[in-house]
Amino acid sequence: MNTTKKIQAFTLSELLVVLVISSIVVTLSFLALGNVQKQVRSINQTFEKQQQIIKLERWITMDINTSKARFDQNNKVLECSNAKETAKYRFTESGIIRGTDTLKLVPKKMKLYLDGEEVKSGTVDALEFTFSDTYAQKGFFVFKRKDASYYMNN
């Protein structure tokens, strides 16, 4: 009597189906990974811009409160000067330059104030910046704290 034992195994067609399904799953996962990387890059760029806005606000707050600020409309330069130093902010189409630092920020709108009145050029004691709506901090307002001696001396 001749008996043959049947071995439990997968057929060639079953293995091919598994390979095709596996390759589809791997392809979809790589596509999803690419989209996630794009979103992470976008979030990182927005965060960096947000940090630059905060940095600019701190610089201008410090400079305007320790110095006398003047804005030159023709050259688009804000100059904050006191007895020790002078800080110049140059507003260009590609960003804001302060000394050797460059912030790649372009304000949508910038308003200058002196004693509550909007001015275009000259001495200023408050500034308002507005940036793109895509950032959490859409803008900021910086003003100089003045006491009675300021008005008595001027």
pLDDT per residue over 63-117, tens digit each? 999 889 999 999 999 999 988 999 999 999 989 999 889 998 888 899 999 988 9
* Cross-strand partners of 130: 109, 139
The pLDDT score that the predictor gives to residue 151 is 67
The rounded percent of the chain whose pLDDT value lies above 70 is 91
Residue 1, domain member (yes or no): no
Residue 54, domain member (yes or no): yes
The pLDDT score that the predictor gives to residue 134 is 63
Q: Is the pLDDT of residue 146 over 80?
A: no
Overall size of the chain counted in residues: 154
Residue 91's SS3 state is strand
Residue 3, domain member (yes or no): no
Using the structure block, give the residue that is written with the tokens 């330059």. 97
Pairing of strands 109-114, 126-130: antiparallel
* Chain-centre distance for alpha carbon 112: 22
Residue 120, domain member (yes or no): yes
Instruction: Return the structure tokens found at 64.
Output: 């305007």
* Residue 70 belongs to domain spanning: 12-153
Whole-prediction pTM value? Answer: 0.74
Residue 4, domain member (yes or no): no
Number of domains in the chain: 1
CB atoms within 10 A of CB 140: 18
Residue 5, domain member (yes or no): no
